[in-house]
Amino acid sequence: MKTAIVTGANSGIGKVTALELAKQTFRVVMVCRNREKAEQAKKEICDQTGNTNLHIELCDLSVMAEIVKTAKRIKKKYPEIDLLVNNAGILPQSDRQTTKEGFERTFAVNHLAYFTLSRELLPVLKNAESSRIINVASEANRSGAFNPNDLQLNEGYSAMKAYGNSKLFNIMFTRELHKKIKGTNITTYSLHPGVVNTNFATNSDSFFAKLFDLGRFFMLSPEKGASTSVYLCTETGIEHLSGSYFIKSKPAKLPKIARNNEACIQLWDMSEELVSSVLQK
């Protein structure tokens, strides 16, 4: 039986991804923050698919120490993992917020969590015959920039910049991860799911979130939004496209900075240093 880890699996794209994988008889581990919402989603997926092999791991993805503990539990329970879907993300608040570890919140949840969970689970991903890491990014990366002198927007913060940066970093991380795992059984992909009508903006007070709410009528359903994630999880014969960025289940042009080898290496090294600094405390 194949095992899939899906973050943010209690709602929206993550829930649909978990549902579709459950339909295909995967064992699905749902990494969620809220137990009540996770249990409700699990019940609904079990009822719809008849697959009862769903499991919940509670984790606050804004805290790297919690991610490491969660990864340890996962590795102990599941010695082989076939899929890791880094899906969970947040839309920032209008004012810059920091986590208890001192990171800008969007940077922590939308980028460092992907980086940390992927790195921690590499040993069990390597144990599977063939495994994949899928990183949900966004075309919002176009409003982002890579400034190694101010990765966390200590200056000139805006919700749109914070979100755009984090989604750009997802794509850069995917490309550098591909290079680091090349020659192993693991491949990795990033994607734009489309602009999807989910509860994504509910907890944000930013102008960016208000624009998001105004456009809900024109947005994709979560089912359509999850289609590229599901494609990357299940499509055969795409291993040669590892490191690529996908839109509508097709490879798309990488942002210019994501094609810059030195920038991608620098982001990786800085991320590693930041995570290590809080884990050593």
CATH of the domain at 159: 3.40.50.720
149 secondary structure, DSSP code: T
Q: Lowest-pLDDT range, 97-106, 107-116, 220-229?
A: 220-229
The per-residue pLDDT of the chain, averaged, comes to 91
* Percentage of the residues of the chain whose pLDDT score is greater than 90: 84
**Inter-CA distances, 226 with 9, 191, 194, Å:** 11, 10, 9
Confidence of residue 281 (pLDDT cuts 50, 70, 90): confident
Q: Which of the following is catalytic: 78, 114, 163, 231?
A: 163
Q: What is the CA radius of gyration of the chain?
A: 17
Q: Would you state the pLDDT for residue 164?
A: 96
Distance CA 124, CA 80 (A): 5
For residue range 198-235, what is the model confidence (pLDDT) as tens digits? 454 445 454 444 444 444 334 444 456 678 999 999 99
Domain of 103 in residue numbering reads as 3-279
Residue 81 has pLDDT above 80, yes or no: yes
Q: Would you state the pLDDT for residue 26?
A: 98
Residue 197 has pLDDT above 80, yes or no: no
For residue range 42-52, what is the model confidence (pLDDT) as tens digits? 999 999 999 99
For residue range 251-277, what is the model confidence (pLDDT) as tens digits? 999 999 999 999 999 999 999 999 999
Active-site residue 163, yes or no?
yes
Q: Would you state the pLDDT for residue 227?
A: 87
Residue 32 token pair: 């969620």
Structurally, the chain folds into a number of domains equal to 1
Confidence of residue 196 (pLDDT cuts 50, 70, 90): very low
Q: What is the pTM of this model?
A: 0.91
Strand pairing category for 250-252 and 245-247: antiparallel
DSSP 4-53: EEEETTTSHHHHHHHHHHHHTT-EEEEEES-HHHHHHHHHHHHHHH----
Q: Would you state the pLDDT for residue 12?
A: 87
Residue 24 has pLDDT above 70, yes or no: yes
